[in-house]
Amino acid sequence: MADLLAQARHDLAIANRIVSHEGIIDAFGHVSMRHPNEPDCYLISHSRSPELVEASDILEYTLDNVPLKPLKPGVRPYGELVIHSEIYKARPDVHAVAHHHGMAFLPFCNTGAELKPLYHMGAQIGVKVPFWDSRDEFGDTSLLVLKPEEGRSLAKALGAHWLVLLRRHGVTVAGKTLTELVFRTIYSYRNAELQLMTQAQGMALSPLTPGEAKLAWERNLEPRPQARAWEYWSVRLKKAGAYPAGGAKKTKPVKTRAARKTKRKKR
């Protein structure tokens, strides 16, 4: 059997590197997942650019952002941990969260223009993409989400949705699984790029109907397309020499007497 925590750390390192390699998250952004063994805890790297994250960088936190183990000297946490922890508190169905400042989203974050699903993969933005404006409750800030009350406010704005745009800041994405999160993080970004390109033509948008969006959403999240996309992005990492080292070690199965006899016969 695989060590669930070791496998989760490895998968989270892969997820960090995928969203970086696919051009979504640069030096500033972070990806987390709910702890596989402790639902009231979560996993996230220490403060490091996602492109560089290794499984050994992944730390364990309670939902009050208390590390389960003392941090080593020189290891610093991300500043915006409350984005992740407060969403996990508010949404038991969320098992992975990403926050980034991808350039394709920033025009929407600045103007407040509505993001719409424009192709079948873009259905992953969900029924609606709400906005959160830190000025409404907190006035002038650094724009970073640093205080628990700011994180709670953001989680409230996300509500039952799967993306929330932070005015003049960036986007936060949620998923039921880590694979789904990566899928949504990438294709919501591609949809934003498509909307900008379409608007640049000066033509009217032709978004999906609610029925089309629902059917495309459900189809995209089936096991087959999810596995196909994860395999594609993982292989691209490997070809680029950017795949993280390690992985969960599996215990060797105990061989029965019958199995040993069968092996000897084959010889």
Find how far residue 2's CA is from the centre of its chain: 23
- The rounded distance, in Å, linking the Cα atoms of 122 and 193 is 10
- Dist CA 81 CA 146 (whole Å): 7
51 tagged catalytic: no
Catalytic residue among 22, 51, 80, 180: 80
CA distance 20 to 14: 10
Phi then psi dihedrals of residue 60, to 5 deg: -110, 130
Hey, which residues does 132 pair with through a beta bridge?
A: 166
Place of tokens 């789904």: 180
DSSP state of 42: E
Determine contact, residues 247/7, Cβ cutoff 8 Å: yes
Sheet with 96-100: list strands edge to edge: 58-62, 41-45, 30-34, 96-100, 170-175, 163-166, 131-132
Tokens (6 digits) for 239: 């070809």
Contact between residue 220 and residue 183 where contact means Cβ atoms under 8 Å apart = yes
Which residue has tokens 């003392």? 70
Instruction: Please identify every residue annotated as catalytic.
Output: 80
